[in-house]
């Protein structure tokens, strides 16, 4: 049965083949997903149309897509920084939560006593806000880096477990020290000055996407243009060779951990200052893991992460709309998303192997004679 | 006489290379047949086809004149073919007897009535019989991990004899042996051939062929270019057939101009990965303008010594200094700053990053020199021109500098790594097994580069398991055994016997040289 496919003499790796195989995978996933609509008596084509119509077809929907994409981009960028350096970090849920808590704290204390204006002038407030959140996430994830480099701890397990620590810590904060008066475990609403500004009038699109795209550019600069980024990549590809060439491997892991944690925290900041405007329990909603999937789909390429995250966000915004309008459960869209991930990942196979058809076999023999 | 085994027009194609291009080979019963060729000439592939590991895309295999087709190794073993790989396929925590019976079918087992029950005692008896009969002393109850490499190889041979193999294939069998062990092995092979078995030795070492083989088949670029009888050929002719042009296997060295002392160690102690002492108090000094050779069988602490010198392994005792500065506990970066460059034995795992381009690899050890003004951004224009210089100056054969280093052949990769380190103009160059696995043509090039470094007044510490290399290049030879130096020799005194005894742990007639 292994004879159904044979290894290509050289893998197909031209950009057009990669794009074609990716698009082909998406179309295939949508085609298979179409069967899921049949029991609901919905026309799949119409469903798909309204799916993209609602998320990309209107300004309002597009704004929502942008908002959904921003934290995904940031988490995916964090994944890119950590994983390219060989640091198997999975703690983005935790970093988002911690970043959100730090941003909430700064938004609340950055306001003068009477709650009227911001203590710092706006020009200083935003850089300081970003720095505070980034630092909080950086320290949170950096501690995993220290455990790894100093004591040889397993960063995959530790970062995964620390997600729960972060989530319970925020539960504690919103039900204790930072709790607003009222029955719900949440903080006060932040002063409007600390909300992320709306960038497209008439929509909810906020400045989070600008932070995310800016970060994508910086991460791209780091990975492909800067010395330290090159050292990160070498460390990730071969720690032995990195050590041999004089790179301090431990410090690079630490740097990757801090960078990844900081980016994850910015995702938390974007969620809390852009959408929710107050800190409450359960804010990340799995974005910390979906972001990793986005990064993998984008093959850990910082610039590719932006369009992939937008597609992913569009699908989930569309899914919500679809559920509201037709009553089709949004879980169908989650199945679709999974199929897309699966097929895109599997599509590499045809770049390395080709179906073994009789005429191909004949061609080889002729070539050799 | 009907050949015991015949390969006719074997074609085997991999991703983008034609590994075997109508290769043919015929081996008579009772013959020792050498398969000679450079690395990448297709020797191993051809043997894997014979052994059933690969399926040929064309051609046929004949055993005793009748065509056969092996679906897998098991079928080949069943037909009486046995293969000893370069890296031994032994389970280290198992005993000799356990290793020998591993993978045996019931039908091959000696005591039919005990089928299904592992009869290790019976197997041990048969192993003892075989080993006395063939003069291969092995204790059937010993664990592999406690045995020296030479004995492990005997176990591999016994494994084949236990399966009653008529055709024995040995892939680079002498790579890890001392000269004495090699001589013993060649003697064993001759006696096995005298019993009517056919022996195929895959090798690129010419003098062994002259010593043991009846006939030689030479492979080049996947083709079998010639089969010659030993009597009708010379080492030089074999080398020419193998490389396709004349090669010079002796080097001419200019007179020694020894300069100031560069590196010294005192009582250096280093542990191996398991935490056991691998280097036990070594005193060493390397001066400018000389090549100090460390000879020894692999695994006697030379790798750990070199890694400690390069800063990759912590020093447990003693001192290392470079030009009077104590660098015992310095980082690899600190060693580089002191002017020490290192060419590791593991070219693919340590010396380079396979997926990165030649350009990226060419700046790997010297990143600071290829950044812009503030040391933050990489200066790609400079690193590109550096990589082009490197490729041109050291003759690295590659389509362009964006080509992934991991896809270079061993020889070209070594040229790139060596060139990268030489271009940093170090005061001291440490090279470990610089020509391991390289073919004659590439060895020639590497040797010439090393001598140029020496003649320009830089010091070289050369660690090699190849005696020819040490003898040809070194100005002083130190022989290492179990983490200690057994003595120091001048290259002209280092005949096979003297050096061989020292490599085996007996301090022979040692003559210490007085330093200028």
* Percent share of chain B, pLDDT over 90: 41
CA distance B456 to B436: 25
Q: Which among B11, B15, B333 has the least Cβ separation from residue A246?
A: B333
In this predicted structure, what is the pLDDT of residue A366? 37
Mean pLDDT of chain B: 86
**Which whole number is the average pLDDT over B180-208?**
87
B457 and B260 in contact (C-beta within 8 Å)?
A: no
Domain of A169 in residue numbering reads as 67-310
Q: Which among A7, A9, A237 has the least Cβ separation from residue B353?
A: A237
**Chain A residues with CB-CB distance to B327 below 8 A:** none
A268 within a domain of the structure (yes/no): yes
Which residues 229-288 of chain A have a CB within 8 Å of chain B? Answer: 230-231, 233-234, 237-238, 240-241, 243-248
Query: Where in chain B is CATH 3.40.50.300?
Result: 5-243, 249-339+426-516
A32 within a domain of the structure (yes/no): no
β-bridge pairing B340-343 and B291-295 = unpaired
**Which whole number is the average pLDDT over B64-88?**
88
CA distance B155 to B499: 26
CA distances from B442 to B100, B149, B197, B243, B407 (A): 38, 27, 35, 10, 17
A289 within a domain of the structure (yes/no): yes
In this predicted structure, what is the pLDDT of residue A3? 65
Kindly provide the ipTM of the predicted complex, given to two decimals: 0.81
In this predicted structure, what is the pLDDT of residue B15? 64
A104 and A278 in contact (C-beta within 8 Å)?
A: yes
A6 near B CB under 8 A? no
A214 within a domain of the structure (yes/no): yes
Q: Which among A227, A228, A237 has the least Cβ separation from residue B355?
A: A237
CA distance B312 to B365: 14
In this predicted structure, what is the pLDDT of residue B509? 47
Q: Which among A225, A234, A237 has the least Cβ separation from residue B377?
A: A225
The alpha carbon torsion through A142, A146, A147, A148 (nearest 10 deg) reads: 100
CATH T-level assignment (fold) for domain B5-243 = Rossmann fold (3.40.50)
In this predicted structure, what is the pLDDT of residue B513? 44
**Which whole number is the average pLDDT over B223-241?**
86
The candidate with the shortest Cα–Cα distance to B213, out of B87, B34, B91, B415, is B34
Which residues contact residue A172 at a Cβ distance below 8 angstroms, ignoring those fewer than 6 apart?
none
A126 within a domain of the structure (yes/no): yes
Q: Do A246 and B356 touch (CB under 8 A)?
A: no
A309 and A73 in contact (C-beta within 8 Å)?
A: yes
A4 near B CB under 8 A? no
Predicted confidence (pLDDT) per residue in A188-235, tens digit: 888 877 888 888 888 888 889 999 999 999 999 999 999 999 999 999
CA distance B249 to B236: 9
Residues paired with residue B13 on neighbouring β-strands, in sequence order: B18
Residue A248 banded pLDDT, cuts 50, 70, 90 = very high
In this predicted structure, what is the pLDDT of residue B16? 64
In this predicted structure, what is the pLDDT of residue A369? 33
**Chain A residues with CB-CB distance to B309 below 8 A:** none
- Does the pLDDT at position B443 exceed 60? yes
B17 near A CB under 8 A? no
- Does the pLDDT at position A328 exceed 90? no
In this predicted structure, what is the pLDDT of residue B445? 86
CA distance B429 to B290: 11
Half-sphere exposure of A166 (CA within 13 A, CB side): 33
**Which whole number is the average pLDDT over B229-236?**
85
- Top residue of B18, B309, B337, B378 to mutate, by most chain A CBs within 10 Å, is B378
Homologous superfamily (CATH) of B249-339+426-516 is P-loop containing nucleotide triphosphate hydrolases (3.40.50.300)
| CA pseudo-torsion sign A35, A36, A41, A42 | negative
B214 and B31 in contact (C-beta within 8 Å)?
A: yes
Predicted confidence (pLDDT) per residue in A3-48, tens digit: 677 777 667 777 788 788 888 888 999 899 888 888 888 888 888 8
- Does the pLDDT at position A329 exceed 70? yes
CA distance B274 to A133: 44
A204 and A67 in contact (C-beta within 8 Å)?
A: yes
How many domains does one find in chain A?
Answer: 1
A191 within a domain of the structure (yes/no): yes
A303 within a domain of the structure (yes/no): yes
A195 within a domain of the structure (yes/no): yes
* CATH number for position A133: 1.10.3470
Count chain A–chain B contacts defined by CB atoms under 8 A.
79
Of residues B403 and A283, more confidence is placed in B403
Report angle CA A252, B424, B270 to the nearest 5 degrees. 60
Where is average pLDDT lowest: A12-21, B39-48, B330-339?
Answer: A12-21
Half-sphere exposure of B140 (CA within 13 A, CB side): 20
Predicted confidence (pLDDT) per residue in B453-503, tens digit: 999 999 999 999 888 889 889 999 999 988 999 989 998 888 878 887 888
β-bridge pairing B476-481 and B484-489 = antiparallel
């Amino acid at each position: 049965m292994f004879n159904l496919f044979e290894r290509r003499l050289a893998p197909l790796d031209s950009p057009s083949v990669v794009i074609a195989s990716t698009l082909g995978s998406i179309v295939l996933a949508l085609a298979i997903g179409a069967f899921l609509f049949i029991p609901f008596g919905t026309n799949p084509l119409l469903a798909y149309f309204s799916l993209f119509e609602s998320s990309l077809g209107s300004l309002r929907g597009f704004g929502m897509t942008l908002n959904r994409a921003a934290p995904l981009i940031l988490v995916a960028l964090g994944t890119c920084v950590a994983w390219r350096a060989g640091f198997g970090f999975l703690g983005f849920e935790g970093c988002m939560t911690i970043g959100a808590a730090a941003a909430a704290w700064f938004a609340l204390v950055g306001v003068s006593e009477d709650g009227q204006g911001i203590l710092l002038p706006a020009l200083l407030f935003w850089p300081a806000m970003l720095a505070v959140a980034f630092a909080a996430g950086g320290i949170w994830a950096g501690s995993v880096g220290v455990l790894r480099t100093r004591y040889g701890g397993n960063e995959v397990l530790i970062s995964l477990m620390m997600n729960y620590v972060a989530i319970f810590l925020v539960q504690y904060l919103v039900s204790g020290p930072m709790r607003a008066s009222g029955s719900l475990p949440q903080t006060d609403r932040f002063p409007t000055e600390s909300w992320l500004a709306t960038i497209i009038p008439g929509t909810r699109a906020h400045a989070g996407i600008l932070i995310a795209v800016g970060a994508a550019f910086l991460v791209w600069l780091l990975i492909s243009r800067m010395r330290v980024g090159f050292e990160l990549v070498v460390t990730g590809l071969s720690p032995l060779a990195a050590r041999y060439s004089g790179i301090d491997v431990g410090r690079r892991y630490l740097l990757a951990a801090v960078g990844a944690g900081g980016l994850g925290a910015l995702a938390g900041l974007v969620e809390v200052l852009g959408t929710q405007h107050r800190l409450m329990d359960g804010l990340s909603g799995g974005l910390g893991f979906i972001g990793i999937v986005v990064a993998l789909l984008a093959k850990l390429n910082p610039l590719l992460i932006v369009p992939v995250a937008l597609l992913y966000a569009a699908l989930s915004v569309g899914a919500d709309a679809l559920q509201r309008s037709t009553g089709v459960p949004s879980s169908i869209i989650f199945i679709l998303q999974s199929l897309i991930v699966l097929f895109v990942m599997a599509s590499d196979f045809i770049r390395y192997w080709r179906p073994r058809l009789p005429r191909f076999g004949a061609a080889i023999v002729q070539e050799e004679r | 006489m009907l050949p015991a085994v015949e390969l006719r027009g074997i074609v085997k194609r991999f991703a983008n290379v034609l590994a075997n291009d109508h290769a043919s080979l015929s081996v008579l019963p009772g013959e020792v047949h050498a398969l000679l060729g450079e690395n990448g000439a297709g020797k191993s592939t051809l043997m894997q086809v014979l052994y059933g590991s690969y399926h040929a895309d064309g051609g046929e295999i004949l055993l005793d004149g009748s065509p056969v087709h092996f679906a897998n190794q098991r079928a080949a073993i069943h037909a009486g073919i046995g293969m000893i790989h370069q890296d031994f396929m032994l389970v280290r925590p198992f005993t000799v007897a356990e290793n020998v019976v591993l993978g045996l079918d019931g039908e091959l087992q000696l005591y039919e009535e005990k089928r299904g029950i592992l009869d290790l005692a019976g197997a041990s008896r048969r192993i003892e019989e075989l080993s006395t009969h063939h003069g291969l002393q092995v204790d059937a109850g010993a664990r592999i991990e406690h045995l020296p490499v030479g004995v492990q190889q005997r176990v591999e041979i016994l494994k084949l004899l236990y399966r009653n193999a008529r055709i024995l294939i040995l892939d680079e069998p002498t790579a890890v042996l001392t000269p004495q062990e090699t001589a013993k092995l060649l003697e064993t092979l001759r006696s096995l051939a005298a019993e009517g078995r056919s022996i195929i030795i895959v090798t690129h070492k010419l003098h062994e062929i002259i010593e043991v083989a009846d006939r030689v088949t030479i492979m080049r670029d996947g083709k079998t270019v010639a089969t010659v009888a030993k009597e009708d050929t010379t080492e030089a002719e074999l080398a020419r057939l193998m490389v396709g042009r004349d090669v010079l296997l002796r080097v001419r060295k200019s007179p020694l101009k020894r300069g100031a002392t560069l590196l010294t160690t005192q009582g250096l102690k280093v542990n191996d990965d398991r935490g056991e002492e691998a280097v036990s108090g070594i005193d060493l000094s390397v001066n400018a303008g000389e090549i100090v050779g460390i000879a020894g069988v692999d695994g006697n602490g030379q790798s750990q010594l070199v890694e400690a010198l390069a800063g990759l392994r912590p020093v447990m005792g003693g001192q290392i200094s470079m030009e009077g500065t104590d660098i015992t506990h310095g980082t690899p970066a600190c060693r580089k700053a002191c002017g020490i460059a290192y060419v590791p034995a593991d070219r693919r795992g340590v010396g380079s990053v396979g997926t990165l381009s030649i350009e990226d690899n060419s700046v790997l050890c010297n990143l600071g020199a290829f950044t812009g003004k503030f040391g933050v951004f990489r200066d790609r224009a400079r690193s590109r021109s550096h990589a082009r210089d490197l490729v041109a100056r050291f003759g690295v054969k590659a389509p362009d500098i964006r080509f992934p280093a991991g896809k270079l052949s061993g020889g070209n990769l070594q040229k790139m790594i060596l060139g990268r380190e030489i271009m940093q103009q170090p005061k001291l160059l440490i090279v470990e097994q610089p020509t391991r696995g390289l073919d004659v043509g590439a060895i020639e090039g590497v040797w010439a580069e090393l001598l140029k470094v020496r003649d320009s007044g830089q010091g070289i510490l050369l660690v090699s398991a190849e005696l020819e290399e040490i003898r040809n290049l070194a100005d002083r030879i130190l022989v290492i055994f179990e983490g200690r130096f057994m003595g120091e020799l001048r290259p002209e005194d280092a005949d096979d016997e003297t050096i061989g005894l020292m490599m085996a742990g007996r301090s022979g007639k040692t003559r210490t040289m007085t330093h200028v």
